[in-house]
Amino acid sequence: MARAEQALCALAAALALAVACAGGPPEPVPIVLDEDACGYCRMAISEGEFAAELVTPQGRVETFDDAGCLAAWLREHGRPEGAAAFVADYRTGEWLAAEAATYVASPALPTPMRSGLAAFADRTAAEAATAELGGETAGWEAVRSGAVGRVEAEGGR
């Protein structure tokens, strides 16, 4: 390889590394309904209002059909370093940081894996949904720990 080509390859590698390192925090990516599969229960993701995902700084994406599946996966595998967890807002479908959402845990919610969990960006909306549906309002720690919203398949897959 000529000296100029080696220098160009080294520069390209350095630039790629700089872009990867300066990419900022992981961002949510669109889920393709009825094509993407849940990383926990392996069901096709068909209801976007209950979807969740985990995105690593390297761009690896693990998708979930239910916030309860995301939480169960994290309990089994741990959270990859620097990964961001996202959940869909039940009302709008917009992605939210899992830690920032307020959750409604209600048996009246027909979630894919029967966790009964729906995420809301707005705590007031979550409390109104809890009043309407029954159940309880919870934060991410209660969901992540399994105190609320355990999925049907957990422990018996």
What does the pLDDT read at residue 156?
A: 39
What does the pLDDT read at residue 123?
A: 96
What does the pLDDT read at residue 153?
A: 62
Q: What is the pLDDT of residues 71-109, one digit of tens each?
A: 999 999 999 999 999 999 999 999 999 999 999 999 999
What does the pLDDT read at residue 5?
A: 54
Torsion sign (Cα): 71, 73, 77, 83: negative
Q: Mean pLDDT across the chain, nearest whole number?
A: 87
C-alpha 157/C-alpha 149 separation (Å) is: 17
Question: pTM of the full predicted structure?
Answer: 0.82
What does the pLDDT read at residue 151?
A: 83
Which residue in 26, 42, 44 sits closest to 34, CA to CA?
44
Is 3 a residue whose pLDDT tops 70? no
